[in-house]
Amino acid sequence: MFSFGTKTDPKTPKEELVEKLNEFAKLAKTIRSNITSLHGNLEFGDIADIAARKNEIQKKIEQLQKQTVETYKKYKNIDGEIDWSKYEPLATGEYAEKWEDIKKKITTEERIITNMWQGGHTHQNGPPPPTGNPHRNSTMIPPSNGEWTFEPTLKFDTTRYKLIQPFSGKYMEFLDFWDIFMDVVDKATNLSESAKFLYLKQKLDPDTKTRVEGFPASSYQEAKEDLLNYFLNPNFVKQNVLAHFRKIERVDNPRNIVKLRKLISETTSAWEKLKRAGVDDLSHEQFTDIVRGKFPQMITNNMVMMGWNVTIKEIIDTAKTVLQNNERTFLEESLHEKQPEENSCH
């Protein structure tokens, strides 16, 4: 009787995932150890060696992040809570701070070398960097092809972040929240992807937060894409904008400055949302018909008499002109009313 060895059953998807996670945990531990070691050599180490080791660690971090994202996508339907932050080397404050110290040390040394060159020193291996920095806040990028470049540095501002109103979960308010978040957090060049993801989740309502909770800490870009695909879905945006605008109160009197100004603002905001979502032409036509019924009749009548196309842009521009004229008239009338009072005092 022949024996062909022990037959092994194929691994289940859950067993494959456990094996992958164990591998990621070892890699993350090695990377953190390398960061700690490099951080300990900052004071006396050669800056060229430090920069080279930093680049090697950076590549390993990016490789691990790529692998965790691929694994998440492949096994995301498996039951069970997984703390993906365990496999993100920079997820904890201790290692994130050490990593920032390493980058800061390299940047500082680059600037010292730059100042030396700009002070009259020469370099045998390439041209000196250009004099004068085009950006007040920027990081010097060493020459890889003989040319020096500057990368703008936009530092994260905690005070501005605290002023961001948390997202309510309403479609009509998403873009207003998103534009501010992008300006304050997403553009900050001194934040890691995992830090940006953490700041994003802290500003989301509970329902929206559940959409991105399953993403690993390193999957900030994927989480952003998921939110944009959801909240800028043309059909959802169209339904919400049209439904919202049908409920808006009509302004009959063009001399009602407060209500007319508010209507112009709401129309402009809703129109921008439709454009950003890329809704179809028919939806724009439906929105235009609704908007025409919300503004004073004299505004659209004047446009028709002038032979203008009654488009959203023309309605808004015409309404702004009417608003400015009415504000000017109101101011003049207020001044005329005060003059007799002043004369009667003399």
Same domain, 322 and 247: yes
Within a domain: residue 144? no
Looking at per-residue pLDDT, the higher value among 64 and 177 belongs to 177
Token pair 């290692």: residue: 95
Structure tokens belonging to residue 92: 């904890």
The residue range of the domain holding 254 is: 237-339
Can you give the pLDDT at residue 191?
85
Same domain, 223 and 314: no
Q: How many structural domains does the chain have?
A: 3
pLDDT (tens digit per residue) in 195-212: 899 999 999 999 999 999
Residue 128 pLDDT more than 70?
A: no
Can you give the pLDDT at residue 104?
83
Q: Looking at mean pLDDT, say which of 44-58, 124-138, 276-290 comes out highest.
A: 276-290
Q: State which of 183, 214, 231 marks the end of a domain.
A: 231
Same domain, 59 and 25: yes
Q: How far are the Cα atoms of 244, 259, 263, 301, 315 from residue 256, in angstroms, in the given order?
A: 22, 6, 11, 18, 17
C-beta atoms surrounding 53 within 10 Å: 17
Stretch 49-59: mean pLDDT: 84
Q: Measure the CA–CA gap between 2 and 320, rounded to whole angstroms.
A: 92
**What is the H or E stretch that residue 176 is in?**
helix 171-181
Stretch 159-167: mean pLDDT: 92
Within a domain: residue 28? yes
Stretch 84-105: mean pLDDT: 80
Within a domain: residue 150? no
Same domain, 209 and 245: no
Residue 28 and residue 64 in contact, taking contact as beta carbons nearer than 8 Å: yes
Give me the CATH number covering residue 109. Answer: 1.20.58
Same domain, 209 and 248: no
Residue 133 and residue 150 in contact, taking contact as beta carbons nearer than 8 Å: yes
Can you give the pLDDT at residue 12?
83
Same domain, 280 and 205: no
Same domain, 249 and 222: no
Same domain, 30 and 70: yes
Residue 27 pLDDT more than 60?
A: yes
Q: State which of 66, 94, 122 marks the end of a domain.
A: 122
Residue 24 and residue 64 in contact, taking contact as beta carbons nearer than 8 Å: yes
Stretch 156-180: mean pLDDT: 90
Same domain, 255 and 172: no
Grade residue 13 by pLDDT with cuts at 50, 70 and 90. Answer: confident
Within a domain: residue 29? yes
C-beta atoms surrounding 153 within 10 Å: 14
Q: Measure the CA–CA gap between 171 and 237, rounded to whole angstroms.
A: 7
Residue 119 pLDDT more than 50?
A: no
Residue 249 and residue 259 in contact, taking contact as beta carbons nearer than 8 Å: yes
Q: State which of 74, 97, 122 marks the end of a domain.
A: 122
Distance of CA 321 to the CA centre of its chain: 34
Within a domain: residue 3? no
Stretch 230-257: mean pLDDT: 90
Same domain, 113 and 31: yes
Residue 145 pLDDT more than 70?
A: no
Same domain, 180 and 258: no
Enter the pTM of the model.
0.50
Within a domain: residue 127? no
Within a domain: residue 198? yes
Q: Measure the CA–CA gap between 198 and 217, rounded to whole angstroms.
A: 8
Within a domain: residue 325? yes
Stretch 230-255: mean pLDDT: 89
**What is the H or E stretch that residue 59 is in?**
helix 47-75
Residue 164 pLDDT more than 90?
A: yes
Same domain, 209 and 242: no
Q: Measure the CA–CA gap between 121 and 136, rounded to whole angstroms.
A: 23
Residue 44 pLDDT more than 70?
A: yes
Q: Measure the CA–CA gap between 80 and 91, rounded to whole angstroms.
A: 21
Nearest CA among 251, 266, 326 for reference residue 296: 251
Can you give the pLDDT at residue 344?
54
Grade residue 91 by pLDDT with cuts at 50, 70 and 90. Answer: confident
